[in-house]
Structure formats: C-alpha cells, structure tokens
Structure 1
Amino acid sequence: MAKVAVVTGSGGGLGKGIAQRLAKDGFHIVLNDINQELLDSTLKEFKAEGIQVEGVVGDVSKREDQFQLVSQAAEAFGQLDVFVNNAGLEVVGPFLDIEENQLNKAFSVNVNGVVFGTQAAAEQFIKQKTKGKVINACSIAGHESYEMLAVYSATKHAVRSFTHSSAKELAKHNIRVNAYCPGVADTSMWTRIDEEMIKYNPEMKKGDAFKEFSSGILLGRPQEPEDVANLVSFLASDDADYITGQAIITDGGIVFS
C-alpha cells in the first residue's frame, strides 16, 4: 500500500516542489493551501501527471482546519504516513515598527499552524498504531536572527523549539519530528521580501536585497525548490527512521550550526 503525505502550503513555491518530489517517491499526496485558485491549479497539474492526489483548502492557523485536513487525508487514502508543516508567511520591517497584528498573524500561521498540524498528525498516527513522520518548515532564520526580519526569525526559532520538544514527547509513540531549514530561494516569498526591503531603504533597487542575501552562499547560487525537496524526501523515507528532533540546514553554505 502506497504511503500518504500531506503538505501544507503546497499550492506553489517550496511546498509544491516538496509535494512533487514526494509524489515521485511514490507517495499519494494531499495538497493543502488557503488559496483555492492556486490549489485548484496545482491539483489539476498533478492529476494530469498521473499523481494520486487530493486537495483540501484550509487555514493552518485554525486548529479545526488542521484536524479536518488529516481526517480528509485518512478518508481519501486510508492512512497517513507523513505530515509536512510547510505553510508559512514572511514579515519584513524594522523592529521599532512591529505591530500587534503583525505578531499575531505571523505567529498564528508559522507557529500555531505547526503545533496544530503536529497534534493532528500525531493523533492519527497513534490511532493507526503506525510509525509517523512530521516534518516542519524552519529556516536559517531559526538558527540566526536577521535585521528587518525580527518577527519572521522569532517564529522560526519557535518552530525549531517545538520540533525539539514534540520529538521528545512523541518518540514513545514511534513518531519522528524533524525540520528543514532553507536559505535564500528564488521564490515568490523572496520577491515579496525584496520589495519590502526597498520600502525601508530608498537607495536599494529591485532585486538588490535578494542579491545581497544570496551573494554569500558558498555554493554560488540561490536555492531551488528541489534542494529543499531532496532533504524532505530523505526525512520522509525509511532511511531517516533513526533521525528525530533535528532542524537541518539546507542553504548552500550560509549558516553553520
């Protein structure tokens, strides 16, 4: 019986790349995104490629949506094996300009979403009496704290912490919890970060922030979705059964931990 993986925030970007790789690995896929139009487009594309796939619209910051997502995955394919907490959002701006609504929204998606997704997946794994894997989206910003990205960095530090603590508590249930920590990727998220940086530094031009952040990558190029997907593929596989509680950096050589 084919294994089943849920990937949140998989309508596009890194999440879509991860879902595509897991499908290539033989997983049945459950796509999840808050954007119905984007989700439908990716769902159509996956089906055209012959992938066994379902799509579920949902808001990861809502606990009931995460539990409903797992329920629909199990109903569609009979089980759950891997849950990837990929959905997230960025916040760019000076520390002194941080507002309450920015904090609440960022933490509700990036942190609460990971907690609720992990809880929902873990309950399903325990119910099935099978091993399970939760794989969280952390970041190099979960290892370092960057100027103009204070809120985002704080959320990713929290994800790293929850990865550690949940791995310790869930190991007795045969559940592994790990995280992948991407660096600078040429995605729509970094396009938005670049645009926001310009607002606070008039001397910068379009693309300057991206160039600045990616210029120090030892391997000489920005990250591609496949670079992250390769790590997630390994963590989702049986070959990674002896790994838990780790937040693994995949950034081409920026941050060293």
Structure 2
Amino acid sequence: MAGRVDGKRILITGAGSGMGRAVARRLAKEGAKLTIFDLNAEAAADARDEIVSEGGMAIAASGNVVSREDVAAAVAAGVETYGGLDVMFAIAGIIKPMHFLDVTEENWRTTLDINGLGSLICQQEAAKQMISQGTGGKLVLTSSIAGRQGYPNFAAYCGSKFAVNALVQAAARGLAEHGITCNAFAPGVVDTPLWRKLDLDIMELGDTSAPGQAFAEFSGSILVGRPGTPEDVTGTALYLASEDSDYMTGQVVMIDGGMVLV
C-alpha cells in the first residue's frame, strides 16, 4: 500500500534532531525521498542512516540556512539524487531568551537572520527549482505560538515568528501562479532539545529556580493537559506535505494542544 507522500521528493532543514528529525522519519515511512539538511553534519548523517536502516530513502546535506550557497547546494543534491523537488520544510531555528529591556542588537539580528531570513532563502531556492520543473510544489515553514502573541522574554524570537507568518502569506500570493503553495505549522511547548536548552536559559535569567520549571509552567496552560512531543507535530506536517492540503495556501496551522486559540 502506497504512503501518503509516496515518491515525493522532500527537503527538510533542521532534520538532524528534534522536531525536524521526527518529521523526516514520519515522511520517510510514508514513502518520501528525503534530503536531510542540518547545520550539524554528523546529526544529518545519523538521521539519514536511521531512516535508511528503517527502509526509507534519504541523503544528508549540511550547512547554514542563512547561507544561500548552502541551501542551493542542498536543493541541488536532492535534485541530483531524485530528479527534482516537490516539498520543502524549513524547520531549522533558534531561540535565545533575554529580558525585554536587555535584548541586544546581536540577539535580534541573529534570531531574525536564522528564523526569518533563513526561511526566506529556503522558500526562494526551493521555489526556483519547483518553477524550473513546472510541476508546482509545497513550501512549509515553522511558526510558533510566539508567532501569534508576544512574550516578554522572547522578543526577538516572537519577531522572527511573526515574520515567518508574513513570509507564508507573501509566498502564497507570490507563487500561486506557479502552482506552489505555502503554509506553516505552529507548535507550542514541545519536548525537544531546543526546549530543554530554553528551559535552562530561562533559569539562567533568574526567572525560574530549577531545571524543568519553565517547561512545566508554560505547559500549565495547555488545554489537552500535557506538553507536546515531536511526534505530535508529524501528523500535521504529513498533511501539509500530502495532496490532502492541495487546496490550502497562506495558512498557519496551530498544533499546540490548545495554548493559543485564534
């Protein structure tokens, strides 16, 4: 029986660990041909090996999403291996909390660069390939609950995720004539390496006194009663990569257990 994305050629950034890796594994099990892209070359190779060992198809590429050259090279590697590109997931991102009055130019620029500019570059390089194929395609970005409301200790991160939402709409309008859609999924509190580091960073700010406290406090407002796991996000990611979402573009799907209601 064919998978829901059987034969789809998919590039995923940030796929070496956490949410990106979970999405990659789920899509591989549904028949995708994956290009695993991550800043950490070893993590990308490890994710590739895991997928291949489970019977999936994957190649690894490493680089920085802020480098157009790196992203273009990852796209080219996938095209060389699989013959084209059908779907691009931009999942790579960072967060470094700072009290609102302490946010520095460096914190702002670095966060906006990786989360905002990185998403734009990924959209552009993937879309150029899709347009050259003439077969349309899907762009999927990663937003957040922080793309729907501002948090005082995450000003730069919130700004970057609001920017992601704008890029979703801009690409949806700008690329529709080419048969390319653009949507995003927006997680909340998810148990990933990024959140575990964030929890410790918040403690270093002096806002919590013990490891796990920030994670628990943020999770307290989740309507379904628990924090998310990377696997909780994969069903929405699969939907956005599959033909089930063909008539959907310019949207941000909340997958946060009910933290933010919009």
TM-score relative to the length of structure 2:
0.96
Partner SS state of residue 146, structure 1:
coil
Post-superposition CA distance 1:130-156 (Å, at most 9, x none): 020000011010001112111111100
Partner of 1:113: helix, strand, or coil? Answer: helix
Matched, 1:93 2:101: no
**Structure 1 residue 204 displacement after superposition:** 2.0
Q: Which residue of 2 aligns with 1:156?
A: 161
Q: Supply the distance in 2 between the matched residues of 1:36 and 1:203 (Cα, whole angstroms).
A: 34
Give the match for residue 200 of structure 1: 205
Equivalent positions of 1:120-199 (< 5 A) are 120-199=125-204
Give the C-alpha shift of residue 202 in structure 1. Answer: 6.0
Q: Identity over the aligned pairs, expressed in percent?
A: 38
- Cα deviation digits, residues 1-53 of structure 1 (max 9, x gap): 81111100000000001111111111111100011121222122112112111
Distance 2:60 2:82 in 1: 12
Q: Within 1, Cα distance between the matches of 2:29 and 2:175?
A: 28
Task: Check whether the contact 2:87–2:137 (CA below 8 A) recurs between aligned residues.
Answer: yes
State the alpha-carbon separation in 2 of the partners of residues 50 and 78 from structure 1. Answer: 20
For 1:252, the equivalent position in structure 2 comes to 257
- 1:211 alignment partner AA: A
Match among 45, 51, 69 for residue 56 of structure 2: 51
Match of 2:35 in 1: 30
Alignment match, 2:214: 209
SS at match of 1:126: helix
Q: Distance in 1 between matches of 2:106 and 2:202?
A: 20
2:120 aligns with one of 115, 136, 141: 115
Write the distance in 2 (CA, Å) between the matches of 1:21 and 1:168. 29
Which consecutive residues of structure 1, in runs of 5 or more, have no partner in the other structure? none
Matched, 1:69 2:74: yes
How many matched pairs? 257
1:225 maps to amino acid: P
Determine helix, strand or coil for the equivalent of 1:226: helix
3-state SS of paired residue (2:138): strand
Separation in 2 of the partners of 1:240 and 1:181?
A: 16
Q: Distance in 2 between the 1:121 and 1:40 partners?
A: 21
CA distance in 2, matches of 1:203, 1:105: 25
Name the CA distance, whole Å, in 1 between partners of 2:54 and 2:236: 23
Deviations 1:188-228 (Å, cap 9, x if unpaired)?
A: 11111111111122652111100000011110111111111
**Structure 1 CA distance for aligned equivalents of residues 208 and 84 of structure 2:** 53
Gapped regions of structure 2 (runs ≥ 5): 1-5
Query: Given the alignment, which residue of 73, 82, 86 partners 1:81?
Result: 86
- Larger CA deviation: 24-33 vs 99-108: 99-108
Q: TM-score, normalised by structure 1?
A: 0.97
For the aligned residues, what is the CA RMSD? 1.1
Provide the rounded CA distance (Å) in 1 between the counterparts of 2:135 and 2:116: 26
Amino acid paired to 1:48 = S
Q: Measure the CA separation in 1 of the matches of 2:196 and 2:138.
A: 31
CA contact (8 A) 2:28 2:51 kept: no
**Matched residues in 2 for 1:160 and 1:172: separation?**
20
For residues 62 and 224 of structure 1, the distance between their equivalents in structure 2, rounded to whole angstroms, comes to: 30
Instruction: Give the aligned residue type for 1:164.
Output: Q
